[in-house]
Amino acid sequence: MQEHRIELRKIKDVNLQGGIVVDGFPSIGLANAIASECLVHSIKTEFVAAMDSPSFPALSVIRNSAPHFPARVYANEELKIGIFVSELNLDPSLFRPVAATMLEWAADAGCKLVISAAGIPYDNSEENSQAEQKVFAVGSTKEALKRAADAGISSLDNGSIAGIPAILLNEGKWRNIDVIVLLVRVLKDAPDFRAGAAVAEALVKLAPGASCDIPSLLKEAEGMERTLKKIRSDQAAETMKQQEMYG
């Protein structure tokens, strides 16, 4: 079995004693990735490290004419928050080493809490597209669950979680590290900005001083929903046309 080597290229050491680390690696619906990007662009952050591996896809993300690693770490030492951001669609074999590297960085930075998010997929429909997103929480420790409850986030009693959030939870339980995974319903086959906004709102409650431009996210959600509705309408019309031709 291939052993994946993960390298964390530090630009600078940061002191986030007692702070928070946010996992922004994409999961189903991209809610956590969307929320993490929103935090990075809404608060003053500094690029402090890049995560790299020979097992990662060969990819450079170009923004403002400059290349960026596809897995990066940003931090705000004043707010005591570190944020992992990535555009990578990771192979499942990389989940464990990436999660382990994240926990190691969080410990080195002195962080008290790790927050991730996972999506519960559903098929988009006219009825539920405008429904208010409910966010639930799962915690690795009693302290983590209490922190979520104090922020007004209900706990999930039964269910299952996959991917990096699952590894973070299990390792948090084993090592007695506070980990909270936020759960939200997400569109099955598309980036879900509405779910991302719900996760971002929950993150802001858990991270004192953090902020996110929620109205912009919801505006993007409305545009995406209109696009999906048009696609569904076009597909339905095409299906009906084919049935008339061959029926």
Residue whose entry in the numeric block shows the structure tokens 């319903």: 185
DSSP 11-52: SS----TT-EEE-----GGGHHHHHHHHHHHHS--EEEEEEE
What per-residue confidence (pLDDT) applies to 77?
95
Count of all residues that appear for the chain in the document: 247
What per-residue confidence (pLDDT) applies to 209?
86
**Superfamily assignment of 7-246 in CATH?**
PAC-like subunit (3.40.50.10900)
From the list 204, 228, 227, 238, the residue with the least C-alpha distance to 122 is 228
pLDDT band, very low/low/confident/very high, at 225 (cuts 50, 70, 90): low
pLDDT cut 90: percent of the chain above it: 52
The two structure tokens encoding residue 132: 């208010």
What per-residue confidence (pLDDT) applies to 237?
63
Phi first, then psi: what are they for 111, rounded to 5°? Answer: -75, 145
- Please, are residues 201 and 151 in contact by the beta-carbon 8 Å criterion? no
The two structure tokens encoding residue 9: 């290229």
The CA–CA distances, whole Å, from 16 to 77, 81, 109, 110 equal 6, 6, 5, 5
**CA triple 229-116-200, angle to 5 deg:** 55
Q: What gap in Å lies between CA 222 and CA 230, rounded to an integer? A: 12
Which range has the worst mean pLDDT, 71-75, 193-197, 198-202?
193-197
pTM of the predicted model as reported, rounded to 2 decimal places: 0.85
From the list 14, 189, 197, the residue with the least C-alpha distance to 105 is 14
- Please, are residues 112 and 177 in contact by the beta-carbon 8 Å criterion? no
- The domain ranges of the chain are 7-246
What per-residue confidence (pLDDT) applies to 78?
94
pLDDT band, very low/low/confident/very high, at 113 (cuts 50, 70, 90): very high
Tens-place pLDDT, residues 208-222: 888 888 787 777 656
